[in-house]
Amino acid sequence: MNYEEFLRTHNLVAGDRVRIQMDGGVLEGIIMPHHEFSAPEIITIKLKNGYNVGCSVESIRSIELLERAGIEVQSAVEHRQKEGLPVVSIIGTGGTIASYVDYRTGAVHPAKSPDELIKTMPEIFNIANIKPRILLSILSEDMNADYWRTIAEQVAQELKESSGVVVAHGTDTMGYTAAALAFMFQELPGPVILVGSQRSSDRPSSDAYLNLLSAVRVASGTDLGEVCVLMHEGPSDTRCAIHRATKVRKMHTSRRDAFKSINAEPLGYVEGEKIEITGEHRKRGELVYDTKLEERVNLLYFYPNMNEELFHAHFDRARGVVIAGTGLGHVSTKFVPYIREYIASGGCVVMCSQCLYGTVNMHVYSTGRALLAAGIIDGRDMLPETAYVKLMWVLAHARDKDEVRRMMMQNIAGEISERREE
């Protein structure tokens, strides 16, 4: 018998307090929801000492109900407004910056209410009057262009009343969303700061606190009129880096300082109350935005031995393809003719590098030159992911192939650096 049948037969549910007579001992405690990786015959009990233990249905001689599960009331926090403080909106989209532990799956899930996060960070109310809103509650790997548009619309709404907007986002695809917003908003009346956490906010060591606090400071206390990503600058809880949206990438699976500005310096830093904006940046202006995107764009990661058919498949029905090529911007020479044909028939191809660091330069080697002759667009030192999002936006706005080329090679939102010192 599995745990479900057993509980049903005995008319018990998770939350009930029970006494189990096992062979070998007695367990007294509260039935916990089943853990996803627990064996099917296991019932999980939380003992009085706090430990969860797994008891096999077969080990149970008798089970006695002591107390029915009660209904827990969560106390809501009132949003205290202070005179004279700027207004900052916090838009939740999911991700571990606002999360709680879900016992069913044994994993971390996004919180349904912003109160759950703000309750543990009261100092945020001393910096700004917070307008929280949960817009989405999804894992960032489930993000798509529709969601980007939804977020952009909400950001625009909020910017009408707030001095800056903070968007809480899962870190996995935060770079993509940030880039999308950066292209959609041609001019901003205040900063739009994407923020996430590598360590879920239910943990005492979570980086969520410093990140969110710093983001609210930047949203209310600077003249930035750009979209950026704010995360820990290093492994310590001292400094956060403000990254330009179009130059940032998640470069580590788990470290707090996973996000790095590639081929550029960060826009600035936040250390405690001190904010330092070091780079050139766009300042607050009007609100001008346009969320149109052409979704039939592919991102192709080239590798040796890539199957020709599979290579071609990336171009089927796509209006444009961004290639993350090797080195200075190369693919196997055998693919050059196909690329030439595709471009000749109206498609756009942009070359970036999977090295991520450094600029593409297709003049140096023969393959590169052949690609240029075929009509490929030089992706300069853009990140492949950023170029992918940019191409989506450009294809939705350019009138012809020449304009596509012109716009792709033009620096629209800081995605191209003229020079690199590292």
Catalytically active residues are 96, 171-172, 250
Interacting span for another protein (CB under 8 A) from 17-25, 288-296, 300-308, 369-377: 17-25
Euclidean distance between CA atoms 357 and 354, whole angstroms: 8
CB of 237 to another protein, least distance (A): 5
Euclidean distance between CA atoms 54 and 39, whole angstroms: 9
Q: Is 74 in the site for another protein (CB under 8 A)?
A: yes
Pairing label, strands 348-353, 377-378: parallel
Selected binder of another protein within 11, 84, 160, 254 (CB under 8 A): 254
> String of b and e for 128-154 (b: at least 16 CB within 10 Å)?
bbbbbebbbebbbeebebebbbebbeb
Question: Is the Cβ of residue 18 or residue 377 nearer to another protein in the bound state?
Answer: 18
- Closest to 243 measured CA to CA, from 256, 227, 254: 227
Q: Is 186 in the site for another protein (CB under 8 A)?
A: no
Question: Is the Cβ of residue 52 or residue 361 nearer to another protein in the bound state?
Answer: 52
Q: Is 108 in the site for another protein (CB under 8 A)?
A: yes
Cβ-contact 388, 299 below 8 angstroms = yes
Q: Is 62 in the site for another protein (CB under 8 A)?
A: no
Q: Is 44 in the site for another protein (CB under 8 A)?
A: yes
Euclidean distance between CA atoms 176 and 179, whole angstroms: 5
CB of 357 to another protein, least distance (A): 22
Q: Is 38 in the site for another protein (CB under 8 A)?
A: yes
CB of 198 to another protein, least distance (A): 8
Selected binder of another protein within 14, 19, 28, 54 (CB under 8 A): 54
Selected binder of another protein within 7, 12, 20, 55 (CB under 8 A): 55
Question: Is the Cβ of residue 199 or residue 249 nearer to another protein in the bound state?
Answer: 199
Per-residue three-class SS string for 42-66: EEEEEECCCCEEEEEHHHEEEEEEE
Helix, strand or coil for residue 390?
Answer: helix
Q: What's the one-letter identity of residue 143?
A: M
User: Quick one: tokens of 21?
Assistant: 């007579």
Interacting span for another protein (CB under 8 A) from 39-47, 270-278, 341-349, 370-378: 39-47
Q: Is 25 in the site for another protein (CB under 8 A)?
A: yes
Q: Is 70 in the site for another protein (CB under 8 A)?
A: no
Selected binder of another protein within 2, 9, 144, 236 (CB under 8 A): 236
Selected binder of another protein within 39, 76, 288, 373 (CB under 8 A): 39
Euclidean distance between CA atoms 356 and 17, whole angstroms: 55
Q: Is 393 in the site for another protein (CB under 8 A)?
A: no
Selected binder of another protein within 10, 19, 149, 203 (CB under 8 A): 203
Q: Is 214 in the site for another protein (CB under 8 A)?
A: no
Q: What count of Cα atoms within 13 Å lies in the side-chain half-sphere of residue 206?
A: 22
Selected binder of another protein within 21, 28, 42, 347 (CB under 8 A): 42
Euclidean distance between CA atoms 313 and 310, whole angstroms: 5
Cβ-contact 329, 353 below 8 angstroms = yes
Residue owning tokens 């001095």: 163
Euclidean distance between CA atoms 414 and 396, whole angstroms: 19
Euclidean distance between CA atoms 273 and 217, whole angstroms: 8
CB of 363 to another protein, least distance (A): 41
Euclidean distance between CA atoms 64 and 259, whole angstroms: 52
Selected binder of another protein within 87, 107, 277, 355 (CB under 8 A): 107
Q: Is 237 in the site for another protein (CB under 8 A)?
A: yes
How many positions of this chain bind another protein (CB under 8 A)? 50
Q: Is 206 in the site for another protein (CB under 8 A)?
A: yes
Helix, strand or coil for residue 26?
Answer: strand
Question: Is the Cβ of residue 54 or residue 86 nearer to another protein in the bound state?
Answer: 54
CB atoms within 10 A of CB 373: 11
Selected binder of another protein within 209, 259, 269, 393 (CB under 8 A): 209
22, exposed or middle or buried, with CB in 10 Å at 0-12, 13-18, 19+?
A: middle
Euclidean distance between CA atoms 334 and 105, whole angstroms: 47
CB of 29 to another protein, least distance (A): 11
Residues that bind another protein (CB under 8 A): 22-25, 27, 35, 37-39, 42, 44, 46-56, 59, 72, 74, 101, 103, 106-108, 120, 198-199, 201-206, 209-210, 234-238, 253-256
